[in-house]
Structure 1
């Protein structure tokens, strides 16, 4: 039941949105309240709790890497707009991220 985000991918936002709502261009958006009445790190499930696709990986050579992608659809957790996200993890030296 760990609620820390050490090493986690946070999103759609990092930090809190008070009252789990915001107004953009005159439209009020109500979000998932996952921390009392606030939205923390994108709501539930946030980017740290969804399944990402492996888009690319390279396991040999000096710089092994893996690239993950995720498509957050319009309305997911109450947020407007489609969002395509890509995260890359790579090793740049012996056992260093």
Structure 2
């Protein structure tokens, strides 16, 4: 389960770094803050992990891409593809 979540996080952060490079913005500090959020640990007692799965972080990432001048539609496609892949892998594990 941890590997699936780690893969999801890596994909999102990778795309965010790419967008930051295109916009000539250093997102290292922001990515560090995002990676320290408790929602990256899925457990039955960690309700923030459920917010992750139901869209809290995908919306946050779309908004970050838009702030970097990536068109919302393009940002939504990238984040949706990564998120849907994560959800499919998660469903197979459950």
* TM-score between both structures, scaled by the size of structure 2: 0.34
Higher helix share: 2
* TM-score between both structures, scaled by the size of structure 1: 0.34
Higher strand share: 1
Larger Rg: 1
Larger relative contact order (Cα-Cα within 8 Å, sequence gap ≥ 6): 2
